[in-house]
Structure 1
Amino acid sequence: MRRHIVKFTHQLAALALAGTAILSTASFAQEQVNLTWQMWGDEKDTPLFQSLADLVTAEYPNIKVTPQFSGWTDYWTRLPVLASSGQIADLVAMQSMRMPSFYGVLEPLDPFIAADNFDKSAFESSIISGLSADGVQYALPYDVGPWLMFYNRDKFAEAGLAEPKPDWTFDDFKAAAEKLTSGDNYGYAVQAFDFVAQPVALGAEYFNDANAFDLTNPGYEAAVGKLVDLVAVAKASPVFASGAGAQTGSGRFAAGNAAMVIDGPWSLLTTQASVGFKVGVAPLPRGEGPSRYITAGSGWGISAASQHKDEAFKALKVLTGPKAAEILASAGRALPGRLAEQKFWYDVAAKDIAGARETLQYSFDHSTPFRLNESWNEFENLLTQYLPLALNGDNTTDAVLADIQSQLP
Structure 2
Amino acid sequence: MKKIHLVPAAAFTVGAALALTGCGASGAASADDKTVVVDMWAGSADDTAALKAQIDVAKKQNPDLKIELRTAPWNDFFTKLTTNMASGNMACVTGMNSGMLSSYTAGFQKLTADDMKTAGLKESDFAAGTTEILKNKGDLYGLPFDTATMLVYYNADQLKAAGAATPKPGWSFSDFEATAKAATRDGKQGFAVGMGDFQWQALPIDKAGVQPASQGGKLQLTDKKFQDAAAWYAGLVTEQKVALPVASASDGGWGEDQYSNGNAAMAVDGTWNAVSYLKNKAGFTAGMAPLPSDSGKPLSLILGSGYGISKTCKNKDAALKVLGSLLSKDSQDYIASSGRSYPARTESQPLYFQSIDEKFRAQVEEVFKAAFSNVQGQYVTDNWSKVGTYVQPQLVSVYNGQAKMSDVLQSAQQQFAK
Q: For this structure pair, what is the TM-score category when the shorter chain's length is used for normalisation?
A: 0.7 to 0.9
Distance 1:208 1:314 in 2: 33
CA–CA separation in structure 2 for the residues paired with 1:295 and 1:274: 25
| Aligned residue pairs, count | 379
Write out aligned runs for 1:150-299 (5 A).
Answer: 150-182=153-185, 184-192=187-195, 193=197, 194-205=199-210, 206-207=212-213, 211-240=217-246, 243-244=249-250, 248-275=254-281, 276-287=283-294, 290-299=297-306
- Aligned-partner Cα distance in 2 for 1:329–1:101: 29
Asked if the contact 1:203–1:287 (Cα under 8 Å) also holds between the matched residues in 2, the reply is no
Output one character per residue of 1:277-312: Cα deviation in whole Å (capped at 9) or x when no partner: 232111111246742221111101122222332221
Secondary structure in 2 aligned to 1:402?
helix
Letter in 2 for 1:41: A
Which amino acid counterpart does residue 404 of structure 1 have in structure 2?
A: A
Q: 2:337–2:355: 8 Å Cα contact kept in structure 1? A: yes
Partner of 2:64: 62
Q: SS at 1:368's partner residue?
A: strand
Q: Displacement of 1:176 after TM fit?
A: 1.3
Letter in 2 for 1:366: N
Deviation at 1:394, TM superposition (A): 0.7
Look up the SS of the partner of 1:125 in the other structure: coil
TM superposition shift of 1:60: 1.5
Aligned CA distance change for structure 1 residues 98 and 247 (closer, same or farther; 3 Å): closer
Whichever residue aligns with residue 79 of structure 2, its letter is T
Q: How far apart, in 2, do the equivalents of 1:203 and 1:265 lie?
A: 21
Q: Once the 2 structures are TM-superposed, how far is the Cα of residue 32 of structure 1 from its aligned partner?
A: 8.2
C-alpha separation in 1, matches of 2:346 and 2:115: 22
User: 1:35 and 2:43 equivalent?
Assistant: no
CA contact (8 A) 1:35 1:66 kept: yes
Shift, 1:57, TM fit: 1.3
**CA distance 1:210–1:334, change in 2 (3 Å):** closer
1:179 to partner: Cα distance: 2.0
User: Higher mean Cα deviation, 306-315 or 176-185?
Assistant: 176-185
Q: Deviation of residue 201 (structure 1)? A: 1.0
Is the contact made by 2:151 and 2:269 (CA closer than 8 Å) also made in structure 1?
A: yes
Secondary structure at the counterpart of residue 349 of structure 1: coil
Q: Which moved more, 1:164-173 or 1:273-282?
A: 273-282
RMSD: 2.3
Which of 128, 131, 145 pairs up with 1:125?
128
Q: Does 2:378 align with 1:370?
A: yes
Distance verdict in 2 for CA 1:57–1:116, change over 3 Å: closer
Who is 2:28 aligned against? none
Task: Tell me the distance in 2 between the aligned counterparts of 1:348 and 1:151.
Answer: 22
Cα separation, partners in 2 of 1:290 and 1:141, compared to 1, 3 Å: closer
- Deviations 1:315-339 (CA, angstroms, capped at 9, x unpaired): 1111111111111112121111111
- Measured in 2, the distance between the counterparts of 1:56 and 1:247 equals 36
Greater CA deviation, 241-250 or 389-398?
241-250
- Cα pair 1:151 1:279 within 8 Å, conserved: yes
**Gap regions ≥5 residues in structure 1:** 1-30
CA contact (8 A) 1:53 1:64 kept: no
CA pair 51-117 structure 1, distance change in 2 beyond 3 A: closer
CA distance in 2, matches of 1:209, 1:321: 29
Q: Which amino acid aligns with 1:303?
A: S
Larger gyration radius, structure 1 or structure 2: 1
CA contact (8 A) 1:325 1:336 kept: yes
Distance 1:143 1:350, change over 3 A: farther
Q: Which of residues 324, 332, 336 in structure 2 aligns to 1:329?
A: 336
Question: In structure 2, do the counterparts of structure 1 residues 101 and 254 end up closer, same or farther at CA, with 3 Å as the change threshold?
Answer: same
Cα contact 1:142–1:325 (8 A) shared by 2:
yes
- Structure-1 separation of matches of 2:214 and 2:322: 39
Structure 2 unaligned regions, length at least 5: 1-31
**Amino acid in structure 1 at the alignment position of 2:326:** L
Listed one character per residue, the Cα deviations across residues 361-399 of structure 1 (whole Å, up to 9, x for unaligned) are 122222234222212222222221212222111122322
